[in-house]
Amino acid sequence: MSAVIGEHRIGKQFRFEAAHYLPGLPEGHQCGRLHGHSYTVEFVLTADRLTGPGFVADFGDLAPVKKMIDSTLDHQVLNEVLPEVVPTSENLAAHLAGWFVEHVEPGLPGRLVSVRVSETATSWAQFEVAR
């Protein structure tokens, strides 16, 4: 049997509830009003080689992400806790990727590939980390 060439990826999802509004939209646009979502955020990682028993990274090592989401984003108005960006799913994905690369990735054997933010069960935005 020949070896297959490829890469391993893992993903971990987190959920939180938050509100936001999007300034600059046309008069009457529903997203211009304060409204809430049940957000799902997925972090995808890869590694050049597996460590330990065969991990890209131990899922337990992603606990700081849950702690940050719970303490910073959950049940908040995103415009207030992220005043530097308009809190679209696209901008939220990029913000979370930057936070992860700075605060979590240095302690991991794997590296972040992408962050996907879903506001609903049928819509999402993804930020892919350029290396």
| Tens digit of each residue's pLDDT (9 = 90 or more) over 57-100 | 999 999 999 999 999 999 999 999 999 999 999 999 999 999 99
75 belongs to the catalytic site: yes
Considering the domain boundaries, does residue 1 fall inside one?
no
**pLDDT confidence of residue 93:** 98
Q: Whole-angstrom Cα distance, residue 18 to residue 20?
A: 7
- Specify the number of domains making up the chain: 1
Q: Which domain holds residue 20?
A: 9-128
Residue 91 DSSP one-character state? H
- Banded model confidence at residue 2, pLDDT cuts 50, 70, 90: low
Residue 26 DSSP one-character state? P
CATH of the domain at 17: 3.30.479.10
List phi, psi (to 5°) of 23: -70, 160
Q: Name the active-site residue from 29, 35, 75, 103.
A: 75
Q: Name the active-site residue from 31, 35, 80, 103.
A: 31
Considering the domain boundaries, does residue 74 fall inside one?
yes
Q: Whole-angstrom Cα distance, residue 76 to residue 78?
A: 6
Please state the rounded mean pLDDT for residues 102-115.
97
Considering the domain boundaries, does residue 49 fall inside one?
yes
* % the chain with pLDDT above 90: 89
Q: Whole-angstrom Cα distance, residue 35 to residue 72?
A: 18
Q: Answer whether residue 1 shows pLDDT above 60.
A: no
Please state the rounded mean pLDDT for residues 108-116.
97
Q: Is the pTM of this model over 0.85?
A: yes
Considering the domain boundaries, does residue 19 fall inside one?
yes
Q: Which has more pLDDT, 93 or 3?
A: 93
**pLDDT confidence of residue 4:** 82
- Banded model confidence at residue 15, pLDDT cuts 50, 70, 90: very high
Considering the domain boundaries, does residue 3 fall inside one?
no
Considering the domain boundaries, does residue 100 fall inside one?
yes
Considering the domain boundaries, does residue 4 fall inside one?
no
Q: What is the mean pLDDT of the chain?
A: 95
Considering the domain boundaries, does residue 18 fall inside one?
yes
